Amino acid sequence: MLDSCVRPDPERLLRQVQAEEEFERRGRLKIFLGYSAGVGKSFRMLDEGRRRRERGEDVIVGATQLVTPPEVEAVLEKLEVIPLKTVQGSRVMDIDAILRRRPQVCLVDGLAYDNPPGSRHAKRWQDVEELLAAGICVIASVNLQYIEERREQVEKITGRTFTESVPLSFINTADEIEIVDAPPEMCLEHAGDGADGAGASPSRQRQLSELREVALLLAADVVDRQLEVYLKRNGIDQLWGAQERILVYVTPDLNGAAMIQSGQRNSDRFHGELFVIHLNDPGLTTEERATLEDNLAVARQLGAQIEPLDGEDPIESIMQFARARGITQIFVGHSTRERWWDRLWGSDLDRLIRQAEGIDVRIFPH
Amino acid sequence: MDEPTSPRPRGKLKVYLGYAAGVGKTYRMLDEGQQLKRDGVDVVVGYFEPHGRKDTIIKAQGLETVPRRKLEYRGATFEEMDSEAVLRRRPQVCLVDEFAHTNVPGSERAKRWQDVQVLLEGGIDVVTTVNVQHLESLNDQVWRASGIRVRETIPDWVIKQADEVVMFDLPPEALLNRLRRGAVYAPERAGQALQNFFKESTLVVLRELALRQTAHEVDMRQVVEEAPEPSPSAQPASPAAPLVREGQPDRILIYITADPLTAVLIRRGKRVADYLQADCFALAVRPDSELDTAPPAEREAIDKHLNFARSLHIETRVLQGDRAAEVLVEFARLHEVTQIFLARPPKRSGLSLLGRDLVQQVVRLARDMQVTIVADRHPDRVAR
């Protein structure tokens, strides 16, 4: 019934072909993401390198961690390693040696290193970009605390500051991301974190558990983006992902703030997204406009995505927006109900419920 | 030496959560078994499904396996985990593959997760594997994403009881490669699988669900650490128990009817309640007995839905009254409900007025609470 396919126009097709050619030339990037040292990222990454080598791929190790635990050492022995070089006392990846060697696959353990001043690139992840552009596939590992956009959150949890970082936009260019999950105890054992071995403090356990949650959700967001890209590439407009997306429809009404706060709480609990929409209605009185502005100020403060909608028919506009954004819950408020309510049933609220077939509709009280 | 009756504390449960067959959960579980054995832990395999996968079979070598129980059903022989034999063997740790498996009729218990409960009660630690699509509360979402109705489900509270939930991740592309290489299923099955569950878009959605579910499980365990609950009473409260408890901001009431959409409603209501950490109960309203002209099929459907709600650990009540909306809202107010969950009104058709009426009445009466009309998550309703 609904349009699920978009007729491709020639411009778009051309762009698609160019993008695909570029995609073919470029090396593929895979990232192993861990939430803390000791989850076993390095091992998983190098072990994949070993398996690929056994399947006949030309795999080399471009960068290792400075300290390697014995099980990692054992895998490293089975792989060809291009040693790090020393520049101004820092150990850096020897990108020229790798480019000369031209392997199919290069393993980079630890993405988030700064190169010393005067290097070709300031950051190791930029070295990796160059390898990818040269058509070399890269498998890399990174820890949550080094992801720029999560740094503040991680610092709040751990109380430690980290200077080196990789931008999330780079992580998002990865063709594949794989999260290495493990119970916190495992990190404590392996990371030498509680070097005495005899269990870390409850607060350290709790920190690890929080970091773990952040990492899982980060991976979920990256996966969600990939799904969007995939659906777009395949001409599918509507998406029903795994993410809860809450849409709050605000009107010039005093209860709007409560509804927005509830939307925020719900989207927090679900780790979802919150959208607040309102109609562009030139017919509002000054007073109504002021109340609406107050409500939107609350939404802004809570970091909701706010969108004004145009259109004659509010229900039509809400539903269009909801379908396009994969909304899973619509919150409507009481003034809406009030106004609709005085009309006969079968009017706006009824239509909304009827049209929102795949979406929960939550009606808020007086 | 032999002290089979000495009591042990309840065993610990660890769940490896994946999003599809072939991601490597079983391998990971067996690997953990090997590690435990090296550490001198007494570990056995209670059940493991090799699916003819070479890597996995090699990983199981050297681990003690408790022989399976053979059962005849309709002229065929089936093999199930022999829980009683595992209990007699009394290992420290038992590895149990495919947590959501349904046992063949004639087995001691209907579900493998129930067998696992018995092992845990016997003081045996269990490491098990399950895919996210088997979670009851995700059943409709999975249906919508994949077009597949998963029949083998596991109530969410069973996972909630686990001491540890660990995600086992693998990018879909790598999984699809494995499938094509024949490392997951035999070739003829692999082709079929690629058509169904293993569509890339489905896998991506399932993977995201698994990541979010694991994050939620991690989150829940943090909250429990902060404020230990008095007792995670597994049984639904007796009818006399008070429904009102203090200190809980959200209270969700699910309205149970004979409508087939009620199952979707129950799953969704419970899921929202779990995420909001809200109390959740369900209510059915029967007409006053002398006037009860409801067809038996309808009564059976209501009973079925009540049982389903109870199986998910939702407290249920049945009240009498001819004006269902009034009874429902009055009950909600009495029990300080903040949110009433209703099924979508039936489609516009001759008899549908009744259902639409109910939504209308509840919305009008319950002006002091929120009313949620739950989506029909049928895949056909959705543009794909």
What pLDDT score was predicted for residue A131? 97
| Contact across the interface for A358 and B377, Cβ inside 8 Å | yes
In this prediction, residue B197 carries a pLDDT of 67
Which pair of structure tokens corresponds to residue A359?
A: 């979406």
Look over chain B and give the mean of its residue pLDDT values, rounded to a whole number. 85
Q: Which two tokens stand for residue A152?
A: 């503040």
Is A177 domain-assigned?
yes
Predicted pLDDT at B233: 43
CB within 8 Å of A18: residues ≥ 6 apart: none
Residues A342 and A284 in one domain: yes
Fold classified for B13-226 = Rossmann fold (3.40.50)
Our CA-based measurement puts residue B236 at a distance from the nearest CA of chain A, in whole angstroms, of: 25
Count Cβ atoms within 10 A of the Cβ of residue B119 and give its class: 0-12 exposed, 13-18 middle, 19 or more buried: buried
A239 part of a folded domain:
no
CB pairs under 8 A between A and B: 159
Residues A142 and A22 in one domain: yes
Could you tell me the residue range of the domain that residue A16 belongs to? 10-233
Residues A77 and A220 in one domain: yes
Domain membership of residue A1 (yes or no) is no
Cβ separation A341–B364 shorter than 8 A:
yes
Q: Are residues A197 and A64 in the same domain?
A: yes
User: For the residues B143-162, what does the mean pLDDT come to?
Assistant: 90
Closest-CA residue of chain B to A356 = B375
Taking the domain B251-381, which CATH number applies?
Answer: 3.40.50.620
Residue B338, token pair as written in the block: 């903040």
Note whether B382 contacts A240, CB cutoff 8 Å: yes
Which pLDDT does position A15 carry in this prediction?
76
Query: Which of A137, A136, A147 has the alpha carbon at shortest distance from A171?
Result: A147
> Are B13-226 and B251-381 in the same CATH fold?
yes
Coil, strand or helix: which one is B64?
strand
Q: Any idea what the CATH number is for the domain that residue A153 is in? A: 3.40.50.300
Cβ neighbors of A345 (< 8 A, separation 6 or more) are B356, B360
A92 and A169 inside one domain: yes
Residues A194 and A253 in one domain: no
Contacts B375 to A, Cβ<8 Å: 328, 356-361
Q: Which of A204, A233, A262 corresponds to the end of one domain? A: A233
- Tell me how far the alpha carbon of residue B259 is from its chain's centroid: 21
In a domain, A293, yes or no: yes
For the four alpha carbons of B217, B219, B225 and B230, in that order, the dihedral sign comes to negative
Q: Phi and psi of B357, rounded to 5°?
A: -55, -45
Chain-chain contact of B209 with A358 (C-beta, under 8 angstroms): no
Residue to substitute from A30, A45, A178, A181, interface B, most B β-carbons within 10 A: A181
Contact A337/B377, CB-based, under 8 Å?
no
On the question of pLDDT at B74 being above 50, the answer is yes
Span B332-383, pLDDT tens digits: 999 999 999 999 887 654 444 555 578 888 988 888 899 999 988 776 644 3
Q: Do A362 and B371 touch (CB under 8 A)?
A: yes
Beta bridge partners of B65: B45
Predicted confidence pLDDT, tens digits, chain A (366 residues): 334 444 556 777 777 777 777 767 899 999 999 999 888 899 999 999 999 999 999 999 999 988 888 888 999 999 999 999 998 888 899 999 999 999 999 999 999 999 999 889 999 999 999 999 999 999 999 999 999 988 888 999 999 888 889 999 999 999 999 999 999 888 777 655 444 444 568 888 889 999 999 999 999 988 888 887 777 777 665 556 678 999 999 888 777 888 898 899 899 889 899 999 998 888 888 888 888 899 899 999 888 999 998 888 888 899 999 988 889 999 997 654 455 444 544 567 778 888 888 899 999 875
Q: Which two structure tokens, joined as six digits, stand for B325? A: 């909306």
Reading phi first (left if > 0) and then psi (alpha if -120 to 50, else beta), residue A16 is in: alpha
Q: Parse chain B into domains and list their residue ranges.
A: 13-226, 251-381
Predicted local distance difference test score (pLDDT) of residue A166: 93
Confirm if A46 and A109 have CB atoms less than 8 A apart: yes
Task: Collect all residues of chain A within an 8 Å Cβ-Cβ radius of residue B221.
Answer: 209
User: Is there a single domain that holds both residue A271 and residue A161?
Assistant: no
Q: Compute φ and ψ for A80, nearest 5 degrees.
A: -80, 130
Q: Considering its fold, how many domains does chain A have in total?
A: 2
B375, two tokens: 């989506």
In this structure, how many other beta carbons lie within 10 angstroms of the beta carbon of residue A294? Answer: 13
CB contact under 8 A, B218 and A209: yes
Which residues on chain A are in Cβ contact (under 8 Å) with B373?
Answer: 353, 356, 360-363
- For B373, the closest of A3, A353, A365 (CB atoms) is A353
Q: In whole angstroms, what is the distance from residue A278 CA to residue A318 CA?
A: 9
Do residues A130 and A95 lie in contact, with contact meaning Cβ atoms separated by under 8 Å?
A: yes
Q: Which long-range contacts (CB under 8 A, 24 or more apart) does A124-127 make?
A: A124/A63, A124/A92, A124/A93, A125/A166, A125/A167, A125/A170, A127/A93, A127/A95
Sign of the Cα torsion B285, B288, B291, B292 reads positive
Mark yes or no for CB contact A217/B171 under 8 Å: no
pLDDT, tens digit, for every residue of B276-324? Answer: 889 999 999 988 765 566 788 888 999 999 999 999 999 999 999 989 9
Which residue among A180, A217, A337 sits closest to B215, beta carbon to beta carbon? A217
Q: How far is B299 from chain A (nearest CA, A)?
A: 27
CB contact under 8 A, B370 and A224: no
Answer yes or no: is A77 within a domain.
yes
